[in-house]
Each structure stands twice: as C-alpha cells, then as structure tokens.
Amino acid sequence: MAASPPQIASMCSKLEFRMPLLESIIKCPACGFQKQETMPADACQFFYECTTCKAIIRPRAGDCCVFCSYGTVRCPMTQTNSDTCSRN
C-alpha cells in the first residue's frame, strides 16, 4: 500500500537535509578588514590572505579552517558534519 501525501510530507520533514551556505564574511584578525567570500564546497580552506594588509591567516587551534575561525558562517564541511574535514 502506497503512503498518502500527508504521510510522505511527514517523512520528508524528518529528513531535514539542508544545503550548506557558501557565503561568509571573513574578518582579518590583524587589521579588522572584512570581506564577503565564497567558501569551497568540498574542502576546508587552511590559509587566507587579507586583501588589505596581506597577512596570511590560519585557523585558530581546534578549528578546521579560516572560515570556522574568522567567518560569519562556518565552513560547508562543518555545516554538514562531514568527516572529511579534519580538526586539529
């Protein structure tokens, strides 16, 4: 017997799959400059060069990437709880 439309809607709402956000505003810890950037969807970004002061930014201890440390949105790998993003 096939599921009725309300049953299907109930099953789908329990899955709650969300696409990760790919836009984040990253703030340079050296000079405070902020810039909107598109994050890589399939990898963590370990280095970032500030466009203003040219500082090379690395993640803080315990974070997997610069977006998790200095961005307004955590990286897509963290958003989806992916095991491919290694944490230090």
pTM summary value = 0.70
On the question of pLDDT at 19 being above 90, the answer is no
DSSP string covering the chain, please? -PPPHHHHHHHHHHH---PPP-EEEEE-TTT--EEEEEPPSSS----EE-TTT--EE-PPTT-SSHHHHHBSS--HHHHTT-TTS---
Among 5-14, 17-26, 75-84, which range has the highest average pLDDT? Answer: 17-26
Q: What is the pLDDT of residue 70?
A: 97
